[in-house]
């Protein structure tokens, strides 16, 4: 049976800790007790971990043998801020699929109230990503940045930078990403409900981004983010 994986909050030598709600979830959901073994991710490494103590808001592990972790591509997701419940769904599923970084962006069509409240959502987004990373047995959750204006995200460094555009009629996303892109950072920009405006797309082009589409169907923002991430991951590992 596959062991559940948890991502440590603190690591010191051969000891790792889960703290606060993170620890309470393990105790409540899996009835954690001393002696149980789980996989424990400590950043870049994953170890077999044996629980040595359990208390309120604290579970301590003794770290054992290192477990090989699959290499993952570096996929940065530029995600225009949209309705929070749908955005949380996108963050959860794109984390499960393997994005390494999520950059929330305030776009021209981002609702003004969502833009004003977005900075306070970063902690919740991080918790969602952490839980999704553990569920999908990742070694670490994606980095989730504080919301920024689009102009600040345009110069993100990546070997391949792609903006999804409904107006793109010739280039499909699946034709842009190639298996030999593995090992390079890929940036993927997904707009809000209604898509990027014409001047935003022009800014992407001027900054050297490639426009691509998912086809003729018009998708909701969260569906587009999940589908696009799946297409990229599938293309990268299709060899």
Token digits of residue 161: 């930078």
CATH of residue 16: 2.40.240.20
Q: Are residues 37 and 137 in the same domain?
A: no
| Structure tokens given for 111 | 């609702």
pTM: 0.81
Q: Same domain for 13 and 41?
A: yes
How far, in Å, CA of 87 to CA of 91, rounded? Answer: 6
The values of phi and psi at residue 31, to 5°, are 50, 55
Q: What is the pLDDT of residue 140?
A: 85
| Same domain flag for 218 and 122 | yes
Residues 191 and 208 in one domain: yes
- Residue 155's Cβ-count burial label (10 Å; 0-12, 13-18, 19+) is exposed
Examine the domain organization and report whether 15 and 51 are in the same domain: yes
Cα–Cα dist 34/235, whole Å: 43
Cα–Cα distance for residue pair 51/32, rounded to 1 Å: 8
Q: Are residues 47 and 80 in the same domain?
A: no
- For residues 80 and 62, membership in a common domain is answered with no
**Same domain for 60 and 40?**
yes
98/59 same-domain check:
no
Q: What is the CATH number of the domain that holds 128?
A: 3.40.1280.10
Contact 24, 131 (CB under 8 A): no
H-state helical runs in the chain: 20-30, 84-97, 112-117, 122-135, 150-153, 173-176, 198-206, 221-236
Locate 165 and state its tokens: 């555009």
The three-state secondary structure class of 16 is strand
Q: Kindly give the confidence (pLDDT) of every residue in the chain, 239 residues in length, as a single tens digit, with 9 standing for 90 and above.
A: 567 888 888 898 899 899 888 888 888 877 888 998 888 888 778 889 999 989 888 999 999 888 876 666 789 999 999 999 999 999 999 999 999 999 999 999 999 999 999 989 988 999 999 999 988 888 889 999 999 999 999 999 998 999 999 888 889 998 988 766 555 689 999 999 999 999 999 999 999 999 999 988 889 999 999 999 999 998 887 64
Query: Distance (Å, rounded) from C-alpha 170 to C-alpha 173?
Result: 10
| The total number of structural domains that make up the chain | 2
Out of 27, 50, 67, a domain closes at 67
Domain interval for residue 220:
74-236
Same domain, 146 and 166: yes
Boundary of a domain, candidates 67, 91, 106: 67
**35 shares its domain with 141:** no
| Residue ending a domain, choose from 67, 87, 104 | 67
Same domain? For 180 and 228 the reply is yes
């Amino acid at each position: 049976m596959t062991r559940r994986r948890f991502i440590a909050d603190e690591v010191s030598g051969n000891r790792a800790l889960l703290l606060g709600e993170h620890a309470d979830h393990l105790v409540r959901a899996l009835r954690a007790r001393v002696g149980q073994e789980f996989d424990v991710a400590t950043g870049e490494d994953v170890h077999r971990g044996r629980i040595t103590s359990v208390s309120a808001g604290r579970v301590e592990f003794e770290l054992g043998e290192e477990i090989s972790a699959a290499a993952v591509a570096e996929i940065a997701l530029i995600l225009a801020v949209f309705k929070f419940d749908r955005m949380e769904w996108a963050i959860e599923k794109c984390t499960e699929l393997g994005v390494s970084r999520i950059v929330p962006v305030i776009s021209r069509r981002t609702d003004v109230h969502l833009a004003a409240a977005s900075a306070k959502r970063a902690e919740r987004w991080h918790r969602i990503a952490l839980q999704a990373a553990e569920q999908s047995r990742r070694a670490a959750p994606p980095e989730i940045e504080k919301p920024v204006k689009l102009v600040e995200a345009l110069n993100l460094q990546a070997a391949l930078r792609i903006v999804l555009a409904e107006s793109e009629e010739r280039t499909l996303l699946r034709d842009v990403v190639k298996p030999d892109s593995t090992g390079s950072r890929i940036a993927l920009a997904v707009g809000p409900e209604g898509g990027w405006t014409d001047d935003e797309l022009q800014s992407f082009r001027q900054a050297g981004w490639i426009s691509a589409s998912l086809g003729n169907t018009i998708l909701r923002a969260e569906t587009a983010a999940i589908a696009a991430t799946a297409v990229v991951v599938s293309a990268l590992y299709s060899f």
